[in-house]
Structure 1
Amino acid sequence: MKLPTFKLIAVCIISLMAMNTFAKKTKKPNVLVIYTDDHRYTGIHALGGQAVRTPNIDQLANTGIVFTNAYLMGAFSGATCMPSRAMLLSGRQLFTLKGQGHTMPKEHITIGETFKNNGYHTHMVGKWHQDRESLSRSFDDGQTVMGIGVYLTDHYRMPLWDWDKTGAFPKKDAYLLEFDANGNETRRPVAKTDKRGPTGTEELGPHTSEIFARNAATYIKNYKDKEPFFMYLAFHAPHDPRQAPKKYQDMYPTDQIQLPPSYLPQHPFDNGALFLRDEELGPWPRTPQVAREHLAAYYAIITHLDAQIGKVIQALKESGEYDNTIIILSGDSGLAVGCHGLLGKQNVYDEDGIHVPFIVSGGATKQSGVRSDALCYIHDIYPTTCDLAGIQAPASVNGLSLKPVINGEVAQVRDHTYHAYRQHQRAYRKGDFKLIEFVKANDYHKKKGEFVAGSRVTLLFNTANDPWETTNLAFLPQYHETLKTMQAEMQAEAIKLGDNTQSTGEKYNFWDYYN
């Protein structure tokens, strides 16, 4: 029987509505990866309970999943953010990167490439610490790129590039954003006379965090394409120089800053990384006043960063995309800022160097307010993000997906972690204990082919009871068997990972001197 015209129209409308609803439900989620720089785990109030104010990131943590034991595997470069980003972007562990991590060869398929190959529009904003070729192949487009070989060490005078479709990003195209006499934002080319900072202030020009957040928010608000987007938003903050607008500096009076339990005026021995740029940012000894000044500035730039992240999240909500977006937030390394007498991140202590925030949040994330103590690395973020988006990670990825942990299928995908900093430091964590071994060779006799006049220091911590790593248990008789077991397992793991060769390009191998 033929349906009346009005009934036929009604059936068509209902069918179209059903199809539209199905399409919305089956649309792949957007993915926003937010990567912060030198941002230790306790640099987020909701995670570490410290005095730093991070209301927007706290909200992400409280409405998502927090991995409380996420770590950087290590670095063979004093600029630890370079291998850290290579591990995040390639999903590969430290000892399988190319060299120190600056170059990501084509066979190391990046996370941007993977999402691009699976129907996503890929976009990046912010810091890039790898080679230009891997940048251009990873993203369909981007804006406001920094970090490609030109620095002024200043958040208010940061050389930037607009997205370059050719992938060249020539130095001549780098520019600075400044305010003119009327307070309007202008740009000018970087000049040879521009001296390194930090000399900029909020009166001179916009802060890097403001620039990156503004451009990311604009992209989200204007995004109209049918395919989902994958955005890599890489902030330079809270990396030094720890500059923030006065409003944020005033939130942290130096005399009210409480130092953490691991504060020391001086590191008790040479760890192999005491004389480099990061450690020269403050005088020795790190008096309580010096440490408070650095920590106050660190908190101020983090709170300013948090406000900018809040603007990006608000843009997602205003655009209607929040409910269909997975938000990944992580830091690239820890930072000492006075802990153990250090200021930098060239170490394998937890908060000082390798313990990072890792949050999975956003409207497309099913779980809310979940804390997991599953051990994981930064290079596990890539396969985890793919799994959450329903995408197959490529074979070049050797990190592990945490989706089984998120789904409650398993409690852990790892039962230990291993860490390295150049040829001087190694760490091994299992259960409640963490072993750190330091070696330092003062000289290498080329003719004899041997090391002379060096040192070795062993530390053992119960991180369950002593998370700030203040009490060395290695010399106590009751921990002798634990120590020997940890040392043997660490050496076995080194062989398994490929850390028993000189393939990293170091002058000598850690294990040559250790043994």
Structure 2
Amino acid sequence: MRRAGNVLFIIIDQLRADCLNGALAAHVDLPNLREFMADAVTFDRHYSVTNPCGPSRASILTGQYAMNHRSVRNGTPLRHDTPNIATEMRKAGYVPLLFGYTDTTADPRVHDPNDPILRSYENPMRGFEEVVEMRLEESYPWRSHLLQKGYEFDDYWDVHKPVARGGGNARLNDPAMYAAQDSDTAFLTDVFLNSMASRVGESWFAHLTYIRPHPPLVAPAPYNDMYDATSLPLPVGFAEADSERALHPFFGPTMAKQTPADFVLGFDQVDPTPENIQTLRAVYLGLATEVDHHVGRVLGFLKDSGQYDDTLIVITADHGEMLGDRHSWGKMTVYDAAYHTPLMIRLPENQARAGAVVSEPTESIDITPTILEWVGQTIPNSMDGRSLMPVLHGQVPDDWRSYSFSELDFSQPERPTIWQKELGTGHSDSCLGILRDRRFTLVEFAADVSPMLFDHAAQGEMENVAEKPEYATELARLTRLMLRHRMRNMDHTLSLHSITPDGPMSKDRF
């Protein structure tokens, strides 16, 4: 039975889970997200099932592991007929409103080669109504807003460069050229609030996606230097980069792939000095605080308009960020910091569970099935994720998963990546799987590359124990568990359908 009510689904790009609960939490001011945590259910073992941006959002919005949707890189097409949250919410009578982006690459089989949709990986996913285009590499409405406000720039990317206050050479944490009220985060929030004001009293579904604190790391005043870089905790890892590289052959190319220089524009080089690294970490936290401020505006609007108690609210991130930990940047790696993300869900009728924390492992593919169940829409068998509705009510199913699973594809068909060159891998075996249970993390490669095993009851991610004889039994157990997981989660789009003399029949997956 379909219900009346609103759904607000917020994704904050590249927000680490430990900004809300962990090493960085005490060093960043996120009052609105923390207030929301106290009114929602928080999942503290929540992981993205794949990286980077395009694949992670493909998994979130289709409910599928990357091994099934296979949109495994930014720029890899998503099959045009894949059910997703927008197509299924339409079946429930909702117009899926998109404020921001989904980073979806169109299926070239259903478009003419000259169609501009095949020139970018930042297109909206099928089924969404794009209210405002806010794609990082385009953002024409925001550009126009800046120009109309009198800002001058010849090249769009100049907008993303820090500007020295008194002229001269800029510093890493100098402010953006625009004021805080004109930032991309502020602009998107303004459009959302202006657009949704007329929908009070309707049942609506809105997907609001903030690009920050995703790089380029540039923030408007006062967020640019809000935090004292010298007071922040140092990045996690070995003091020497060579010690990180020695842990496994995968990490050398990982560290070389992205450096601090890739995270800020307008500088010829950014040496990885402790001062520079801490400064960039401080700017990242400032951007997170800016997003928090505008999330507070959105939640305030729901309360002031009387919609807060009629709205299912989901706040999460698409993936994490290394932020200098392990001498690494970005999310193309195997460590928890790149996959561990916040997830907070508030059900209107679930105030008895306000402030509860769930420690069962959850995955990004669980979000779409949860939303669909809440609105009363059938969950397609193609979706690998499981609805969190019983868990939200404090009732964990007996057969709930005991581990989480993630994947990473580090190939590039058009130009072999640094990993392919250094590891000697090809297009089909340049990928890995990550399985995390309560104690261990197993990283297994499709290529003939040695696995990694981290024991969190010992040195955790600081030591690869895969080659130690005393761990052979656990290594075999986890390897079999990963194999069984992949076998059980092969594509179910049609596998539970049957054509019979009485017509087509099907069984629900879960």
Given candidates 460, 475, 479, the residue that maps to 2:453 is 460
- Indicate the structure with greater strand content: 1
Secondary structure of 1:374's aligned partner? coil
**Cα distance 1:429–1:195, how it changes in 2: closer, same or farther (>3 A)?**
closer
Confirm or deny that 1:255 pairs with 2:230: yes
What's 2:508 paired with? none
Query: In the aligned structure 2, how far is the partner of 1:421 from the partner of 1:130?
Result: 17
Secondary structure of 2:133's aligned partner? strand
What's 2:88 paired with? 114
Measure how far apart 1:37 and its partner are.
0.9
**Cα distance 1:387–1:97, how it changes in 2: closer, same or farther (>3 A)?**
same
**Cα distance 1:260–1:279, how it changes in 2: closer, same or farther (>3 A)?**
closer
Cα shift readout 1:199-240 (whole Å, capped 9, x = no counterpart): 26544362111111111122232324x541100001111100
Measure how far apart 1:496 and its partner are.
4.8
How many residue pairs match? The answer is 426
Query: In the aligned structure 2, how far is the partner of 1:377 from the partner of 1:207?
Result: 31
In the alignment, is the contact (CA less than 8 A) between 1:64 and 1:368 conserved in 2?
yes
**Cα distance 1:50–1:437, how it changes in 2: closer, same or farther (>3 A)?**
farther
Query: In the aligned structure 1, how far is the partner of 2:368 from the partner of 2:151?
Result: 35
Alignment of 1:462-481 (within 5 A): 462-463=455-456, 469-481=461-473
Given candidates 49, 55, 63, the residue that maps to 1:91 is 63
Measure how far apart 1:251 and its partner are.
2.3
Alignment of 1:287-302 (within 5 A): 287-302=273-288
Query: In the aligned structure 2, how far is the partner of 1:359 from the partner of 1:95?
Result: 26
**Cα distance 1:238–1:370, how it changes in 2: closer, same or farther (>3 A)?**
same
**Cα distance 1:46–1:391, how it changes in 2: closer, same or farther (>3 A)?**
farther
Measure how far apart 1:416 and its partner are.
2.2
In the alignment, is the contact (CA less than 8 A) between 1:115 and 1:122 conserved in 2?
yes
Confirm or deny that 1:145 pairs with 2:125: no
Query: In the aligned structure 2, how far is the partner of 1:295 from the partner of 1:57?
Result: 20
The structure with more radius of gyration: 1
What's 2:305 paired with? 319
Query: In the aligned structure 2, how far is the partner of 1:475 from the partner of 1:424?
Result: 21
Secondary structure of 2:404's aligned partner? strand
Give the letter aligned to residue 316 of structure 2. Answer: S
In the alignment, is the contact (CA less than 8 A) between 1:425 and 1:438 conserved in 2?
yes
Q: Please, which moves more after superposition, 262-271 or 421-430?
A: 262-271
- TM-score of the aligned structures, taking structure 1 as reference length: 0.74
Measure how far apart 1:350 and its partner are.
0.5
Confirm or deny that 1:358 pairs with 2:330: no
Measure how far apart 1:95 and its partner are.
0.9
Measure how far apart 1:276 and its partner are.
3.1
In the alignment, is the contact (CA less than 8 A) between 1:176 and 1:187 conserved in 2?
no
Q: What RMSD, in angstroms, separates the aligned Cα atoms of the two structures?
A: 3.2
Give the letter aligned to residue 257 of structure 1. Answer: L
What's 2:478 paired with? 486
Measure how far apart 1:320 and its partner are.
0.9
In the alignment, is the contact (CA less than 8 A) between 2:101 and 2:133 conserved in 1?
yes
Secondary structure of 1:34's aligned partner? strand
Measure how far apart 1:481 and its partner are.
2.0
Query: In the aligned structure 2, how far is the partner of 1:100 from the partner of 1:466?
Result: 31
- TM-score of the aligned structures, taking structure 2 as reference length: 0.74
Query: In the aligned structure 1, how far is the partner of 2:283 from the partner of 2:458?
Result: 29
Measure how far apart 1:186 and its partner are.
6.3
Measure how far apart 1:495 and its partner are.
4.9
Query: In the aligned structure 2, how far is the partner of 1:106 from the partner of 1:31?
Result: 24
**Cα distance 1:115–1:440, how it changes in 2: closer, same or farther (>3 A)?**
closer
What's 2:42 paired with? 66
What's 1:342 paired with? 328
Cα shift readout 1:301-346 (whole Å, capped 9, x = no counterpart): 1011111111111111111101111110111111101111101100
Query: In the aligned structure 2, how far is the partner of 1:379 from the partner of 1:319?
Result: 31
Confirm or deny that 1:215 pairs with 2:191: yes
Give the letter aligned to residue 257 of structure 2. Answer: L
Query: In the aligned structure 2, how far is the partner of 1:137 from the partner of 1:425?
Result: 28
What's 1:376 paired with? 362
Measure how far apart 1:362 and its partner are.
5.8
Cα shift readout 1:406-439 (whole Å, capped 9, x = no counterpart): 2333256212223222225432222321122468
In the alignment, is the contact (CA less than 8 A) between 2:3 and 2:375 conserved in 1?
no
Query: In the aligned structure 2, how far is the partner of 1:136 from the partner of 1:256?
Result: 41
Give the letter aligned to residue 237 of structure 1. Answer: R
Given candidates 402, 408, 429, the residue that maps to 2:388 is 402
Query: In the aligned structure 2, how far is the partner of 1:277 from the partner of 1:74?
Result: 18
Give the letter aligned to residue 385 of structure 1. Answer: I
Q: Please, which moves more after superposition, 277-286 or 114-123?
A: 277-286
Given candidates 140, 158, 165, the residue that maps to 1:160 is 140
Given candidates 230, 241, 245, the residue that maps to 1:268 is 245
Query: In the aligned structure 2, how far is the partner of 1:437 from the partner of 1:395?
Result: 27
What's 2:14 paired with? 38
Give the letter aligned to residue 116 of structure 1. Answer: R
Confirm or deny that 1:125 pairs with 2:99: yes
Given candidates 403, 406, 412, the residue that maps to 1:416 is 403
Query: In the aligned structure 1, how far is the partner of 2:357 from the partner of 2:24?
Result: 13
Query: In the aligned structure 1, how far is the partner of 2:22 from the partner of 2:32?
Result: 10
Alignment of 1:15-34 (within 5 A): 28-34=4-10
Cα shift readout 1:247-279 (whole Å, capped 9, x = no counterpart): 123321111111244365523244243443566
Q: Please, which moves more after superposition, 457-466 or 428-437?
A: 457-466
Give the letter aligned to residue 95 of structure 2. Answer: H
Alignment of 1:187-226 (within 5 A): 194-195=156-157, 198-199=160-161, 202-204=176-178, 206-224=182-200, 226=201
Secondary structure of 2:280's aligned partner? helix
**Cα distance 1:61–1:260, how it changes in 2: closer, same or farther (>3 A)?**
farther
Give the letter aligned to residue 405 of structure 1. Answer: V
In the alignment, is the contact (CA less than 8 A) between 1:67 and 1:371 conserved in 2?
yes
Identity score, percent: 23
In the alignment, is the contact (CA less than 8 A) between 2:124 and 2:130 conserved in 1?
no
Given candidates 293, 315, 327, the residue that maps to 1:307 is 293
What's 1:135 paired with? 124
In the alignment, is the contact (CA less than 8 A) between 2:442 and 2:451 conserved in 1?
yes
Query: In the aligned structure 2, how far is the partner of 1:30 from the partner of 1:85?
Result: 21
Confirm or deny that 1:177 pairs with 2:177: no
Query: In the aligned structure 2, how far is the partner of 1:440 from the partner of 1:291?
Result: 33
Confirm or deny that 1:387 pairs with 2:373: yes
